[in-house]
Chains A and B, each alone.
Chain A
Amino acid sequence: MRTLLSAFVVGLIFGVGLLVSGMANPQKVLGFLDLAGAWDPSLALVMVGAIGAAFIAFRVAAGRRESLLGEPMRLPARADIDGRLLFGALGFGVGWGMAGFCPGPAVVALGAGEAKALVFVASMVAGMGVFELIERKRRA
């Protein structure tokens, strides 16, 4: 129960952070990605603020086997670079640049009642479903 409550509260803080920062607004995101137009550097500062605030916590977490709520510490262990990672990351940037939405802001905009965000999130979940189907077929 405590882990569910903390997940909810963390999701809430994360969502408010996206709203405060301007990242939940695709127009603002595209203003950052449009280097050749009138460039809005704001989102670089979102990254600076976020990494600055999380950096120490991840150092602390790396030295622990259990979380403060007694959950196993699940830090990704992989360090290898493979084609899937590169293909996925390159593709993600294309999709991000098309509409100015990445997953987090789209979910928050959905909560704000934006019909277009609902369409984006539904398509995104469908895309994730396509991935699951391909992966299951590949493993079968």
Chain B
Amino acid sequence: MTVDWAAFTPWSALAGGVLIGLAAALFILLNGRVAGISGIVGGLLAPQRGDVGWRLAFIAGMVGAPLVWLATTSLPEIRIEAGYPMLILAGLVVGISTRYGAGCTSGHGVCGISRLSPRSLLATVAFMATGFATVFVIRHVIGG
């Protein structure tokens, strides 16, 4: 393993992480809910009375974040190298899996680990492991 020190951005990573954690903290304390993005989006597909508005409001905030950002400065780089067929497949897999797994990087990785939930600890180890393995296969087995 070689560390790419030129790409390493410890301060912005920490600062952004603190903002994400602050958002999760505010959401549980104010709204009494876990800020898990796959659950918030997925819940819209089985809509229940009084359970739709807050989901849409949260998603609107996330979609609006780059726009608020743009009002002050130019956006950071967003580079998406995957082609369209790969993005479609990845999206489908992420959609189905996060619903079966009841969470993603935010719900399990941030909120669940903060709660010391054994389910979330296991889920985070599992998706990190297959994430590492998948990138290894794509970049070094197929691509290499």
In whole angstroms, how far apart are the Cα atoms of A39 and B112 in the complex?
A: 26
Interface centre among B8, B22, B117 (most CB of A within 10 A): B22
The answer to whether A128 and B41 have CB atoms under 8 Å apart is yes
- In the complex, chain A residues whose CB is within 8 Å of the CB of B127: 89-90, 92-93, 96
Please count how many residues in chain A sit with their CB below 8 Å of the partner chain's CB atoms: 117
Interface centre among A26, A35, A127 (most CB of B within 10 A): A127
- In the complex, chain A residues whose CB is within 8 Å of the CB of B79: 25-27
Please count how many residues in chain B sit with their CB below 8 Å of the partner chain's CB atoms: 112
- In the complex, chain B residues whose CB is within 8 Å of the CB of A104: 37, 62, 104-106
The answer to whether B61 and A88 have CB atoms under 8 Å apart is no
In whole angstroms, how far apart are the Cα atoms of A46 and B124 in the complex?
A: 14
- In the complex, chain B residues whose CB is within 8 Å of the CB of A109: 66, 78, 80
In whole angstroms, how far apart are the Cα atoms of A89 and B112 in the complex?
A: 13
Interface of B is mostly: helix
Q: Mark A40-51, 1 if CB is under 8 A from B, else 0.
A: 111111111111
Q: Mark A68-91, 1 if CB is under 8 A from B, else 0.
A: 110111111011110011111111
- In the complex, chain A residues whose CB is within 8 Å of the CB of B139: 30, 34, 36-37
- In the complex, chain B residues whose CB is within 8 Å of the CB of A87: 97, 100-101
Mind listing 14 A-B residue pairs with CB under 8 Å? A10-B27, A20-B15, A22-B16, A34-B135, A36-B1, A38-B7, A49-B20, A97-B130, A99-B80, A103-B41, A111-B65, A120-B88, A123-B91, A132-B46
Known pairs A96-B127, A130-B96. 17 more at Cβ < 8 A?
A: A10-B31, A12-B64, A21-B19, A23-B20, A31-B4, A35-B1, A37-B140, A49-B13, A49-B18, A51-B113, A53-B22, A54-B24, A71-B33, A93-B133, A94-B130, A131-B42, A132-B46
* Chain A residues at the B interface, C-beta cutoff of 8 Å: 3-28, 30-31, 33-58, 60-62, 66-69, 71-76, 78-81, 84-104, 106-114, 116-117, 119-132
